[in-house]
Amino acid sequence: MTDRITLRVTRYRPESETEPTAQEYEIPLRKEWAILDGLNHIKDHLDGTLSYRWSCRMGVCGSCGMTVNGEPKLTCATFLEDYAPGPIRVEPLSNFPVVRDLVVDIGDFMRKLPQIKPWLIRSEQEPPAENEYPQLPAEREEYERFSMCINCMLCYAACPVYGLDQEFLGPAAIALAQRYNLDSRDQGASERMDVLSAAEGIWACTFVGECSAVCPKDVDPAGAIQRYKFTAAMESLKTLLLPRGAR
């Protein structure tokens, strides 16, 4: 078995190129190396000009999302060996503007994120009597899955709806809204409703499900969106059928 593998890495240097190009690097194929280790080897030993984002190397920071052989992946959790004998294509995440090489601009998501108010909202401002809001394990389970999101943007890169229409609020933002809506300590669901149930919110989703398929933290944004569709549809029915006082 060969002990080397080729990474075909997309390069884009906006100061000298108008289009991205592919550049091949041969690196050692080691059992314990993830794609990110391969990129770090290139950066340290072969070509110091290669640009990419990374930080924690352990699937927590959400920085190292890239497209590996056409699929959105966390490169710190995707191993070279699984793609042997190669070559392995490493490209920037789809659906985002490329800043340089493998670095994408996620400003669109960062602008959308505060719209869904991803924090605990209380209707009264006084702190609770015991200085904490007690929560049962069952109540915690309601939202725990959606709280695992690391904002890695793999779901946006995989979402065909977001690819066609960047106005779509998107999987991670909606899942995060549900993380707070379903938290027993939160009272802000009505404040998030306008943004979520807009045409560019949940209703733009056509339940392709790729977001949940690629999510490295098993958040299931598609499930969060479908669940909220039902909530929003019931609210609309109530608005239509019930008199104002009974809603």
Partner 1 sequence: MEPFLWLLFSAGGVLSALLIPALLLLFGLAFPLGWVSPPDHAHLSAVLGQPVTRVVLLGLCVLALFHWAHRFRYTLYDGLQLKHLGRPINLFCYGAALAGSAVASYLLLAAW
Q: Are 185 and 135 in contact (CB under 8 A)?
A: yes
238 binding partner 1? (CB under 8 A): no
Nearest by Cα to 215 from 142, 153, 169: 153
The region of 6-14, 81-89, 160-168, 178-186 touching partner 1 under the rule CB under 8 A is: 160-168
User: Which residues have a Cβ under 8 Å from the Cβ of 107 and sit 6 or more positions away?
Assistant: none
Nearest by Cα to 169 from 236, 221, 231: 221
Nearer to partner 1, 53 or 229 (CB): 229
CB of 86 to partner 1, least distance (A): 34
The region of 87-95, 105-113, 118-126, 197-205 touching partner 1 under the rule CB under 8 A is: 197-205
Total residues interacting with partner 1, rule: CB under 8 A: 15
Nearer to partner 1, 39 or 204 (CB): 204
One residue of 164, 190, 194, 242 binding partner 1 per CB under 8 A = 164
165 binding partner 1? (CB under 8 A): yes
Residues that bind partner 1 (CB under 8 A): 160-161, 164-165, 197, 199, 203, 206, 229-230, 232-233, 235-237
